[in-house]
Chain A
Amino acid sequence: MDLQASEKSRNPELAKALRGIVGADAVITEEEALRPFECDGLTAYRELPLMVALPSNIEEVQQVMKKCAQHSVPVVTRGAGTGLSGGALPLSDGVLLSLTRMNQILEINASARTARVQPGVRNLAISEAVRHLGLYYAPDPSSQIACSIGGNVAENSGGVHCLKYGLTVHNIQQLKVVTVDGELIDIGSEALDSPGYDLLALMTGSEGMLGIVVEVLVKLLPIPPVAQVVMAAFDEVDKAGNAVAAIIGGGILPAGLEMMDSYAITAAEDFVHAGYPVDAAAILLCELDGTQEEVDTQIAKVEKIMAEYGATDTQVATDEATRQRFWSGRKAAFPAVGRISPDYYCIDGTIPRRELGTVLTAISNLSEEFGLRVANVFHAGDGNLHPLILYDANKEGELEKTEELGNRILELCVEVGGTVTGEHGVGVEKLRPMCMQFEDPVIEQFHAVKAAWDPENLLNPGKAVPTLSRCAEFGAMHVHHGNLPFSNLERF
Chain B
Amino acid sequence: MSITEICHLAIWSDSELPGSDDINRLVDKVRTSHRNSEPLRICGSGSKFFLGCPIVGSVLDVKRHTGIVSYEPSELVLTARAGTTLREITEALTSSGQLLGFEPPWFGENATLGGTIACGLSGPRRPFSGSARDFVLGIKCITGKGELMSFGGQVIKNVAGYDVSRLMVGAMGSLGVLIEISIRVLPCHEQETTLVLELDEERALDEMIRLSGLAIPISGLSHSSGLMRVRLSGTENGIASAKAEIGGQDDERGQEYWSQLKEQKLRFFNRNQILWRLSVPVTAPAMGLGEDCLIDWGGALRWVYTDKTDEEMFEFARQMRGHATVFRAESYYQGERFSQLSGLVAELHTRLKSSFDPGGILNSGIMYSNV
Contacts and interface: CB of A to CB of B under 8 A. Distances in A.
Nearest to A424: B159
A195 B338 contact: yes
A460 B157 CA distance: 23
Interface string A411-436: 00000011111111110001001100
- Chain A interface size, as a band, is 35 or more
Nearest to B282: A112
Contacts of B212: 113, 222
B93 to A, nearest CB: 12
Interface in A417-474: 417-426, 430, 433-434, 437-439, 441-442, 445-446, 448-453, 464-465
B131 A192 contact: yes
Contacts of B213: 110-111, 113, 134-135, 222
- Chain B interface size, as a band, is 35 or more
A422 B235 CA distance: 31
A81 interface: no
A251 B170 contact: no
Interface in B49-89: 72-77
A185 B126 CA distance: 26
B139 to A, nearest CB: 11
B242 interface: yes
Contacts of A351: 155
A156 B163 CA distance: 10
Given A197-B352, A353-B75, A445 B235 contact: no
Interface stretch (B195-203, B248-256, B320-328): B320-328
B166 interface: yes
Interface stretch (A26-34, A43-51, A242-250): A242-250
A253 B187 contact: yes
B107 to A, nearest CB: 18
Interface string B121-158: 00000110011011000000001000101110111111
Interface in B311-354: 321-323, 325, 338-342, 344-346, 348-349, 351-352, 354
A228 interface: no
B217 interface: yes
Contacts of B161: 426, 434, 437-438, 442, 446, 464-465
B232 to A, nearest CB: 11
B321 A191 contact: yes
A464 B160 CA distance: 8
B254 to A, nearest CB: 20
A426 B159 CA distance: 8
Nearest to A442: B149
B356 interface: yes
B163 A201 contact: yes
Contact of B355 (A293, A354, A451): A451
A93 B340 CA distance: 40
Interface stretch (A56-64, A66-74, A165-173): A165-173
Given A201-B167, A291-B238, A196 B321 contact: no
B364 interface: no
B341 A196 contact: yes
Given A158-B157, A434-B160, A197 B238 contact: no
Nearest to A352: B75
Nearest to B76: A248
B349 A197 contact: yes
A449 B156 contact: no
Interface of A: 109-113, 134-135, 155-156, 158, 162-163, 166-167, 169-170, 179, 183, 185-187, 189-199, 201-202, 204-206, 209-210, 222-225, 244-246, 248-253, 290-294, 296-298, 350-354, 379, 382-384, 417-426, 430, 433-434, 437-439, 441-442, 445-446, 448-453, 464-465, 480-481
20 contacts: A134-B213, A169-B163, A183-B344, A187-B345, A197-B175, A199-B167, A201-B133, A201-B166, A210-B162, A251-B190, A252-B187, A350-B155, A382-B155, A419-B158, A434-B160, A445-B164, A446-B162, A448-B356, A453-B348, A464-B161
Closest 8 CB pairs of A and B: A293-B237, A201-B166, A249-B74, A294-B238, A245-B74, A452-B351, A422-B157, A251-B187
